[in-house]
Amino acid sequence: MSYPSPRYFADQGEISATFRTAGTDPELRIGERSRVSLLSTGTTSGGLYGLYRWDLLPTDPEPTPANSGHYHRTFSEAFFILDGSVALYDGDTWREATAGDYLFVPPGGVHSFANTSGAAASMLVLFAPGAPREPYFEELAAIRAEGRQLTLEEWDELYARHDQYRA
């Protein structure tokens, strides 16, 4: 393993960092269960990665469905639990993950997550390279906000447009 090819070629560094305060409101509200802060997107990171803070709100516990996993063909995904308890699925086993626990999923790896405790929880979700996941989550938020019920075929079409496939 070596360093990747250079992406910056100027003779000196530049002032180009971005800062986000902890008090910034989440950009996405997905139903009554999730608030998502888009810390870095594929666009803002130049395609390197996407990093979201995913806050799971206190609500009725979600069950862990038997065949709920999915996979992606073009990017990896990683989950780091900040607070509370989140059920993470590694394609084989559901695990109750707590603060400090981490799950890495390479392209093609089956995975899922759920708030089975019903209590508040927070995690970081990292996509690499920086896939354009925002439109997918924006569509989920609209579906929930409008109370729409999609058919299995409509879900599969939505998933396919966003590199998400049922396991």
pLDDT tens-place string over residues 114-124: 999 999 999 99
**Would you say 59 and 33 are in contact if contact means Cβ atoms under 8 Å apart?**
yes
Residue 134 clears pLDDT 70, i.e. is over it: yes
Mean pLDDT of 25-38: 95
For the record, the structure tokens of 107 come out as 């392209």
- Write the pLDDT tens digit of every residue in 59-82: 988 877 766 799 999 999 999 999
Task: Tell me the domains of the chain and their CATH numbers.
Answer: 28-166 (2.60.120.10)
Q: What is the pLDDT of residue 63?
A: 79
Q: pLDDT per residue over 90-107, tens digit each?
A: 999 999 999 999 999 999
